[in-house]
Amino acid sequence: MAIIATAGRYGLAEFFRTEFEQIKTPNTDADTRFYLGSMMDRYARSDQFFSFDEDGIGIRPLALLYEDAYTTTSERERCSLLRQIGDQSLFIGAMFPQFYSRKGIARDYFVGMGVGAYGYLADHAPLMRDIYAKLAERFAQLLELIARVCNRYRKLDAHELLAIYQHWESTRDPALARQLAELGMVLK
């Protein structure tokens, strides 16, 4: 709720751009922050994130989106699908890492899909090639940036905190260590 209350003053996209700027991730320029803020604003609306088909509502798997992009004969459609893959990889990888980790899907999967999608767009998209190149080059750092901004406002219950700690204990993931430190835990 804190994000929504704060964002109500000047819009969700601008809220995220400001948050991304405050964290001061190296090499994250204004254009990249603008793109990320706009992406977060888009995905705040369910019709931009979920797909609707005869089976109901859901998130189309990245591998199936990739198949669609690979098999289409339209370069415009391919670029649109690859942008969707890149954006969803960034969003899902940042927002739901524990959920997908429990399903056996590693962070590297999202990084690989995102880097590949944005890398193609950097060479073939009609517009914003320089932004896509930056997104591909810094994908892992940007995924971390989004996760840090969004987790800053999230209230965790004791079970969630324990689950994060146990996951850190088994993996020693530096991102989880930073998250736990930001929550006030001293790790040894």
Residues 67, 117 contacting (CB under 8 angstroms): no
Q: What is the mean pLDDT of the chain?
A: 83
Kindly state the average pLDDT of the residues 101-117.
90
Neighbouring residues of 42: CB distance < 8 A, sequence distance ≥ 6: 48, 49, 87
pLDDT of residue 154: 58
Torsion sign over Cα 67, 69, 73, 77: positive
Evaluate if residue 117 carries a pLDDT over 50: yes
What pLDDT, on the 0 to 100 scale, is given for residue 183? Answer: 67
pLDDT at position 107, please?
A: 87
pLDDT bin (cut points 50, 70, 90) of residue 171 is confident
- In which band, very low, low, confident or very high, does the pLDDT at 118 lie, cut at 50, 70 and 90? very high
Q: Per-residue pLDDT for 95 more than 90? A: no
Question: Does residue 5 have a pLDDT over 80?
Answer: no
Q: Are 114 and 135 in contact (CB under 8 A)?
A: yes
Q: Report the DSSP beta bridge partners of residue 58.
A: 51
Q: What is the mean pLDDT of residues 30-40?
A: 90
Q: What is the pLDDT of residue 86?
A: 97
Q: Which amino acid is at 97?
A: P
Q: According to the model, what pLDDT value does residue 26 have? A: 61
Q: What are the residues whose beta carbons fall under 8 Å from the beta carbon of 185, sequence distance 6 or more?
A: 161, 165
Least confident of 27-31, 66-70, 84-88, 157-161: 157-161
Q: Encode the chain in three state secondary structure.
A: CHHHHHHCCCCHHHHHHHHHHHHCCCCCCHHHHHHHHHHHHHHCCHHHHCEEECCEEECCCHHHHHHHHHHCCCHHHHHHHHHHHHHHHHHHHHHCHHHHHHCCCCHHHHHHHHHHHHHHHHHHCCCCHHHHHHHHHCHHHHHHHHHHHHHCCCCCCHHHHHHHHHHHHHHCCHHHHHHHHHCCCCCC
Instruction: Report pLDDT for 145.
Output: 87
Residue at token pair 């819009």: 11
Considering only the C-alpha atoms of the chain, give the largest distance between any 2 of them, rounded to a whole number of Å. Answer: 54
